[in-house]
Amino acid sequence: MQFVVKRDILLKSLNFVQGVVEKKNTLPILSNVLLQLKDNKLSIVATDLDIVFYNEISDVKIINEGSTTTSAAILYDILRKISSNSELNFDLKSENKLSLKSDSADFNLLCLPTDNFPSFVDEFEGQEIALDKNRFLKLLNKTRISISNDDTRHYLNGVFLHLTEAHGRNFLTGVATDSHRLSSSSLEIESTNNFSSLILPRKTVFQLCSLLSETTDSLTMQSSENKIKFTLGKIRLISKVIDGKFPDYKQVVPATNDKILNVPSKEFINSIERVASVSLDRKEGVKLKIDKDNIQLSVNSANSGEGNETIKADYNSESLNISFNSKYLIDIASEIENKNLKMNLKDSTSPVLIEDASDKNSYYVIMPMKI
């Protein structure tokens, strides 16, 4: 196996690989990237057995076909330190040694045989659905903030993707919750009857966000019983889905909260961050005393002191005292596109609905804290 490729082209692919390869080293082969030369293209493959990343590079000079696997982290680190636009000369000297030369640098990388590398099947029965790349990225960014990290409830460790309908329009809707907060976002799609609801794992969501934010190719999605495939030009990401039933989230979305608070989004975020600075624990609660034309924010930490600030707001009801996890509130407020954040409240203990006037297809629910 022998080939020549530009450093920047291979580095871009290996950058995506880093989020997929297994870091725990339980199986050494899973820390490796598969390099395969065949049919006038270089294929880059990485997997952790749950996700498969596959990329085809056609801008490559192939001298001899073949394949090998080598450490993804080491190859990536070397390429990062080689000058941009440099030519990389690869030559497989033996089954376990890959030569890499560039300018005056010379490396010999250890390899593992491709026979040990997991194979994957790219067969999907489901209809291929075209998605607006930027809108789908927005959906994932707005929902991933609420993905649970509690592995005992594995069915909450991802984004629930399902079809919904409203006003005669069809939507792909994503929902995530950790039982303290919930995020929902939808994007309009053409009518499709061949997509079954599924839970997209946390790692896949974050890897997709990285891919979508750094590529310009159009996006398609295709699913089968227990896996899903996303295609972006010459890149394919195949992932297992979470085996579990997502809870009926609509039951926790408040429908009758009639106390309406409007507050400038950025000012609200900045104020929370300032008063929360007094505490090293960002999960500590921020207290809000909401009045007709202002909010008094305060954080009181037994270990480090207290912080207070008042900002302007617009509120249509009697005074209300309510507390939230400051990090959760900042996470949600940071996703609001409108200059104002709208809170629909009921009392100091009931779930609060947060809406964005600039994105009618997204909303958030957050549970108050007891302080």
Q: What is the mean pLDDT of residues 75-92?
A: 96
Look over the chain and give the mean of its residue pLDDT values, rounded to a whole number: 94
pLDDT of residue 70: 97
State yes or no: pLDDT of 286 exceeds 90: yes
Options 3.30.70.890, 3.10.150.10, 3.60.20.10, 3.30.70.20; CATH of 253-366: 3.10.150.10
Residue extents of the structural domains in the chain: 2-116, 129-250, 253-366
Confidence of residue 137 (pLDDT cuts 50, 70, 90): very high
The CATH homologous superfamily to which domain 2-116 belongs is DNA Polymerase III, subunit A, domain 2 (3.10.150.10)
Tell me what the mean pLDDT of segment 289-312 comes to. Answer: 93
Average pLDDT on 253-271 reads: 97
Rounded to whole angstroms, the Cα distance separating 124 from 20 reads 21
Read off the pTM: 0.93
pLDDT at 340: 97
Please report which confidence band the pLDDT of residue 282 belongs to, taking 50, 70 and 90 as the band edges: low
- Percent of the chain residues topping a pLDDT of 90: 86
Q: Who wins on pLDDT, 125 or 328?
A: 328
Mean pLDDT score, 13-33: 90
| For residues 331-346, average pLDDT | 97
Give the model's pLDDT for residue 304.
83
- Per DSSP (E only), the strands in 217-357 are 219-223, 227-232, 235-240, 259-264, 285-290, 294-301, 305-312, 314-315, 320-325, 340-345, 352-355
Q: 129-250, superfamily in CATH?
A: DNA Polymerase III, subunit A, domain 2 (3.10.150.10)
In this prediction, residue 265 carries a pLDDT of: 97
**Which amino acid is located at 318 in the chain?**
E
Distance CA(74)–CA(72), nearest Å, equals 6
Domains 129-250 and 253-366 share a fold: yes
Task: Give 140-155 pLDDT, tens digit per residue.
Answer: 999 999 999 999 999 9
- Mean pLDDT, rounded, for 93-121: 93
Q: According to the model, what pLDDT value does residue 221 have?
A: 94
Checking if the pLDDT of 181 tops 90, the result is yes
Residue 207, pLDDT > 70, answer yes
pLDDT of 281 higher than 90 = no
Q: Which two tokens mark 20?
A: 């997929």
Q: What is the dihedral of CA 282, 356, 359, 236, to 10 degrees?
A: 10
**Residue range 307-332: mean pLDDT, rounded:** 96
Q: Is the pLDDT of residue 193 over 80?
A: no
Q: What integer is the mean pLDDT of 79-107?
A: 95
* Helical axes 202-214 vs 7-17, angle rounded to 10°: 160
| 146-151: Cβ within 8 A, 24+ apart | 146/176, 146/177, 146/178, 146/181, 146/182, 146/183, 146/331, 146/364, 147/176, 147/178, 147/202, 147/205, 148/176, 148/177, 148/178, 148/179, 149/178, 149/202, 150/178
Higher pLDDT, 195 or 145: 145
- Tally the residues of the chain: 371
